[in-house]
Amino acid sequence: MTVPARADTIRLVGAPSTGRVQFVFTGASLVDAAGRDNGVNCSLKQAIATVRASDLPVKPRIKQATLYVGGSLFDDGVDYQPSTSIFDTGGVSFITDPDLVTARARAAVDTQVSLKLPGSFAPLSLAASQTPAITVFYKNDGNETGNIAFFTSKFDITAQLIANGTIAGDYVLSDAVADICLGTEALCDNGESCDTVTGNGTVVQGAHTNAAASFALLFVVEDDALPLRTVGIFEGMEQVSGQRGTVTLDTVNPVSSPAAGRFAFYALEGDRLLYNSNPGNTPCGAEEFISVRGSDDAAKPQLCLVDDDNPLGNIFNSTINTEAQRGTDPTCNDAPTCCSGNGLCNVIGVDIDRFDISAALDPGAQQVTVNYGTGTDRIAMSVMLLEVDVFQPTLKLDSQVRVLDAINGIAQLGGPITYSIAVSNTGNVTSHAARAQMPMPPFVTGFTIVAIPAGSVDESSPGGGVNGTGNVFVRDFDVPPGEVREIRVQVTTRCDAVSRSLDPIAVVSSTEEPAFDVPAEVVLVAGPGIAACDGQDANGGFNADPLLKDRVLRGGGGCNAAGPSCVMIFFGGLLAFVSRKKRAYLMLLVAFCAGCRDAYERKDPGAKDTSIANEAAIAGVACPSSPDL
């Protein structure tokens, strides 16, 4: 019999992470339990968990890496010689003073361990990154009477794993301390067991049925090739015995179609033999269960999680289905207690299991609920993970950079260039925290931000960018589906930009979409110059008025109005034809026209077809009218 427990409630840690991500979750037991159906033999000096390459995307980047170390604590006197107690409350019971016992339990938690990363030569010494999570209760009958606690210490190893460079491989944990024996602790490396080690005389020596010691590894990895997903991490330390609990994840974006998702958990203790079944117990017909509903319809049946290693009614059964089977599982004739899959079985004191929950999810839903409970089995739930594929915004298909002042791809020397960075969302949900960056091209000056999206943050710099001519950097604006958010920036072409091509490239990204390039329209800078460049490249190709009609064009050539005189140009040819009477005739055709002549005359390019379909589209400048024409 136990009294109600104190616990650190399981809850969502921070905001859900949305991006092209997936979680990797595995772990190992830190005890030996060979030959036992419950209880343990001794503590292991070290244990190994393996992250397989097949568990990772093709090009994984570590976004978050966390080590959890969990175990049990028993207020049962001296644990080591010389006289040392891991968890000592001075004889005060949890019933008498729950606050004191809870504080003593938290202080007793091991917060320093060693971890050897794949490919490394020496282990890292780690210190817990936050206050450990615990749950405490009092057992008041039998040999195990006393204060009992479960704990989880959390270690942030993100920086260390990024620096290591290798993700797949063996992770070796050592120097972890938990209280697992009833009485004096037994170390496997010393050939001891809880049953045979010399006791301290305070309690009857033996194996504690609530013993647990283990570790779990959680990695959140990114890869641009992954679907857009929302990942929620729930942490705490809740004792569950004959009780039920619930966690809920809001997915931010709607669940994708087809729906896809995964769930995983890390729990301490558990008993592989305590199967229970009762068809009257909802939702799964068993008191021990985990069920998932990913639907906005509360009446939709929940998905009860089962697999070959976790039979219905016995999900907390000392398995790690994320680790490969080692050797052959023992023959089992009692199906509800069998572990017949390819996961790791009979790892007493820990469950680390992962499940596909796609069948529980409705496309378009925005909430996923997980329910869990036990019957007579006691567990300590530590970590839960939810990963759901969601609908996605799409900025890449239609975002563009236009040049508003260019005419036919030509910008005027000494004149303005206005770049319009249009971030367009052709997806079906809002793009969050979008950002756009674009360094200005060389040969421009006068960098000015003209417009930015409402609510955005402008961190542009007039002297920034690779060319020192200005850098656009506007961030944290949302783009609803089917809409465009625009950034406008204006610069002025310098006089040394004549005959230069300007082709800046914008980089656009958002929370949901990795960075991609958006090349601006390429423009050529040409005269006639204006403002500071007045008089330069007077015969340049820029035409400020594309609708100007007064042109003289011959065979694709043209002229400049600054010529001092006009000249007559004669040309002719012979035309042969045959009359109805089959007589041959020759005709001389003579024609003349007026043209302009000066030092800036453009030569005829020799086009074969000199017809003009659209005069307004032809680059050139007007010639003066002449009374001789």
Q: What is the pLDDT of residues 483-494, one digit of tens each?
A: 999 999 999 999
CA dist 477 → 420, 458, 474, 510 (Å): 16, 10, 8, 9
Task: Return the pLDDT at 329.
Answer: 56
Residue 86 has what DSSP assignment?
S
* Per-residue tokens: 129: 């990154």
Query: pLDDT (tens digit, 9 = 90+) per residue, 351-397?
Result: 999 999 999 999 999 999 999 988 877 889 999 999 999 998 899 98
156 in any annotated domain: yes
Whether the per-residue pLDDT at 548 is higher than 50: the answer is: no
608 in any annotated domain: yes
Mean pLDDT, range 20-30, rounded to an integer: 95
The verdict on 190 and 85 lying in the same domain is yes
In angstroms, rounded to a whole number, what is the distance separating the alpha carbons of residues 320 and 272? 12
pLDDT interval class at 586 (50, 70, 90): very low
Query: pLDDT (tens digit, 9 = 90+) per residue, 87-97?
Result: 999 889 999 99
CATH number at residue 494: 2.60.40.1530
- Cβ 413 vs Cβ 526: under 8 Å: yes
Whether the per-residue pLDDT at 615 is higher than 60: the answer is: no
The verdict on 103 and 199 lying in the same domain is yes
- Cβ 237 vs Cβ 135: under 8 Å: yes
Query: pLDDT (tens digit, 9 = 90+) per residue, 309-341?
Result: 888 888 888 889 888 766 655 556 566 667 777
The verdict on 140 and 272 lying in the same domain is yes
Task: Return the pLDDT at 566.
Answer: 39
The verdict on 333 and 412 lying in the same domain is no
- Cβ 42 vs Cβ 278: under 8 Å: no
Mean pLDDT, range 38-44, rounded to an integer: 89
Q: Vertex 580, ends 577 and 582: CA angle to 5°? A: 65
Task: Return the pLDDT at 198.
Answer: 86
17 in any annotated domain: yes
- Cβ 546 vs Cβ 53: under 8 Å: no
The verdict on 412 and 384 lying in the same domain is no
pLDDT interval class at 438 (50, 70, 90): very high
152 in any annotated domain: yes
505 in any annotated domain: yes
Range of the domain at 607: 547-629
Does an H or E element contain 163, and which?
helix 158-164
In angstroms, rounded to a whole number, what is the distance separating the alpha carbons of residues 154 and 152? 6
In angstroms, rounded to a whole number, what is the distance separating the alpha carbons of residues 152 and 322? 20
The verdict on 576 and 502 lying in the same domain is no
Task: Return the pLDDT at 374.
Answer: 87
- Cβ 156 vs Cβ 233: under 8 Å: no
Percent of the chain with pLDDT over 90: 58
pLDDT interval class at 203 (50, 70, 90): confident
The verdict on 174 and 237 lying in the same domain is yes
* Per-residue tokens: 449: 């931000």
The verdict on 344 and 232 lying in the same domain is yes
pLDDT interval class at 598 (50, 70, 90): very low
| Pairwise pLDDT comparison (9 vs 36), residue with the higher score | 9
Task: Return the pLDDT at 579.
Answer: 42
Q: Vertex 279, ends 276 and 285: CA angle to 5°? A: 65
Whether the per-residue pLDDT at 347 is higher than 60: the answer is: yes
The verdict on 208 and 308 lying in the same domain is yes
Instruction: Please give the tally of structural domains in the chain.
Output: 3
The verdict on 225 and 105 lying in the same domain is yes
Report helix, strand or coil for 44: coil
541 in any annotated domain: no
Q: Considering only CA atoms, which of 219, 216, 220, 251 is closest in space to residue 237?
A: 216
Task: Return the pLDDT at 49.
Answer: 95
In angstroms, rounded to a whole number, what is the distance separating the alpha carbons of residues 40 and 4? 25
At 532, the amino acid letter reads A
CA dist 15 → 12, 109, 185, 218, 254 (Å): 7, 27, 41, 17, 16
Query: pLDDT (tens digit, 9 = 90+) per residue, 127-164?
Result: 998 999 999 999 887 777 889 999 999 999 999 999 99
Report helix, strand or coil for 587: strand
The verdict on 431 and 344 lying in the same domain is no
Of 509, 533, 557, the last residue of a domain is: 533
- Of the CA atoms within 13 Å of residue 287, those in its CB half-sphere come to 15
Mean pLDDT, range 205-212, rounded to an integer: 87
Whether the per-residue pLDDT at 568 is higher than 60: the answer is: no
Whether the per-residue pLDDT at 2 is higher than 50: the answer is: yes
* Strand-pair category, 229-241 with 213-222: unpaired
- Cβ 419 vs Cβ 492: under 8 Å: no
* Phi, then psi, of 598 in degrees rounded to 5: -165, -175
Of 361, 389, 417, the last residue of a domain is: 389
Of 48-57, 198-207, 511-520, 582-591, which range is least confident? 582-591
DSSP secondary structure of 231-287: EEEEEEEEEEES-EEEEEEE-SSPBPSS--EEEEEEEEE--TT-----TTSTTTSSS
Mean pLDDT, range 607-611, rounded to an integer: 38
pLDDT interval class at 83 (50, 70, 90): confident
383 in any annotated domain: yes
DSSP secondary structure of 98-154: HHHHHHHHHHHS--EEEEEPTT-SSPEEEE-SSPPEEEEEEE-SSTT-EEEEEEEEE
Task: Return the pLDDT at 333.
Answer: 55
Residues 6+ away with beta carbon under 8 Å from 257? 363, 364, 391
Of 326, 361, 389, the last residue of a domain is: 389
- Cβ 381 vs Cβ 243: under 8 Å: no
Task: Return the pLDDT at 585.
Answer: 44
pLDDT interval class at 612 (50, 70, 90): very low
pLDDT interval class at 296 (50, 70, 90): confident
Residues 6+ away with beta carbon under 8 Å from 143? 182, 203, 204, 206
* Per-residue tokens: 230: 């929302």
Whether the per-residue pLDDT at 605 is higher than 70: the answer is: no
Q: Vertex 398, ends 391 and 503: CA angle to 5°? A: 135
pLDDT averaged over every residue in the chain: 84
Task: Return the pLDDT at 282.
Answer: 75
Whether the per-residue pLDDT at 597 is higher than 50: the answer is: no
Q: Considering only CA atoms, which of 521, 445, 426, 440 is closest in space to residue 473?
A: 440
Whether the per-residue pLDDT at 582 is higher than 70: the answer is: no
Query: pLDDT (tens digit, 9 = 90+) per residue, 441-456?
Result: 999 999 999 999 999 9
pLDDT interval class at 544 (50, 70, 90): low
Residues 6+ away with beta carbon under 8 Å from 600? 538, 539, 560, 562, 563
Whether the per-residue pLDDT at 3 is higher than 50: the answer is: yes
* Phi, then psi, of 15 in degrees rounded to 5: -85, 150
* Phi, then psi, of 333 in degrees rounded to 5: -105, -10
In angstroms, rounded to a whole number, what is the distance separating the alpha carbons of residues 505 and 436? 10
The verdict on 605 and 468 lying in the same domain is no
Residue 542 has what DSSP assignment?
-
Mean pLDDT, range 14-21, rounded to an integer: 88
542 in any annotated domain: no
- Cβ 160 vs Cβ 124: under 8 Å: yes
Report helix, strand or coil for 332: coil
pLDDT interval class at 53 (50, 70, 90): very high
* Per-residue tokens: 118: 């794949």
